[in-house]
Amino acid sequence: MKITIMEPMDGEEDEIIIRCRHLDRPLMDLIYAAKAGVYKITALQDGRYFQVAAEDIFYFEAVDNRVFLYLEQEVYETKRRLYELEESFLGTDFFRASKSCIVNLAKVKSLSPAFNGRFEALMKNGERVIISRQYVPVLKEKLGL
């Protein structure tokens, strides 16, 4: 595969153009990886706005109609809805773990069974997130099971 890197003109946005005959799986993975890598979320903390890189996010959680994003130590709030985030991160490391939670699989340390077909994800920062029974098949598919 030929890789060409061109410098954009002044004022032009950085852009990735893919010229291919068909989009196969490795290419799709590359696109998703690029999408996740460059994806930043505008988040709020103590009344100030920040740009948070998707790769630093451990999980998103909706609590009382507010959506929070959890990093290793910090917690931010985003104005985006959980379903919008789910769509934006489709095909990336993020997956829906429950009605109120989207988890970054790259930040999961291990998985263990919980009550009644549910699983518990131990995150790399020591936090625990429940993967509800309805979303276990989503996780299994992501892991190729």
Partner 1 sequence: MKRLKDMLFIYMCVTTCVLFVTALYITVFWPQVQLGVEILWQILVVSFLCSVANCIVPHREVSARMMLAIYILRYAATNAIVLGCGFRFGWFYADNLPMVLAMLLSIGAVFVIVSAAAWRQGKQQAALMNERLQAYQSKE
Q: Among residues 69 and 101, whose Cβ is nearest to partner 1?
A: 101
Shortest CB 116 distance to partner 1, Å: 6
Q: Where are the alpha helices (H) located in 1-145, listed in sequence order?
A: 25-38, 82-88, 136-142
**133 belongs to the binding site for partner 1 (CB under 8 A):** yes
Q: Among residues 76 and 96, whose Cβ is nearest to partner 1?
A: 96
Q: In the range 85-124, which residues lie near partner 1 by CB under 8 A?
A: 93, 98-100, 105-106, 108, 110-119
- Between strands 94-98 and 75-78, the pairing is unpaired
Q: Which two tokens stand for residue 53?
A: 């890189």
| Segment contacting partner 1 by CB under 8 A, of 18-26, 67-75, 79-87, 126-134 | 126-134
Q: Among residues 79 and 128, whose Cβ is nearest to partner 1?
A: 128
Question: What does the buried/exposed string (b/e) look like for 19-46 if buried means 16 or more CB atoms within 10 Å of the residue's CB?
Answer: eeeeeeeeeeeeeeeebbeebebebeee
d(CA 9, CA 124): 41
Q: Among residues 43 and 82, whose Cβ is nearest to partner 1?
A: 82
**65 belongs to the binding site for partner 1 (CB under 8 A):** no
Shortest CB 118 distance to partner 1, Å: 8
Q: Among residues 65 and 112, whose Cβ is nearest to partner 1?
A: 112
Q: Contact 73/56 with Cβ under 8 angstroms?
A: no
Range list of β-strands (E), 33-85: 40-45, 48-53, 59-63, 66-70, 75-78
Residues of this chain that bind partner 1 (CB under 8 A): 93, 98-100, 105-106, 108, 110-119, 130, 132-134, 137, 139-140, 142-145
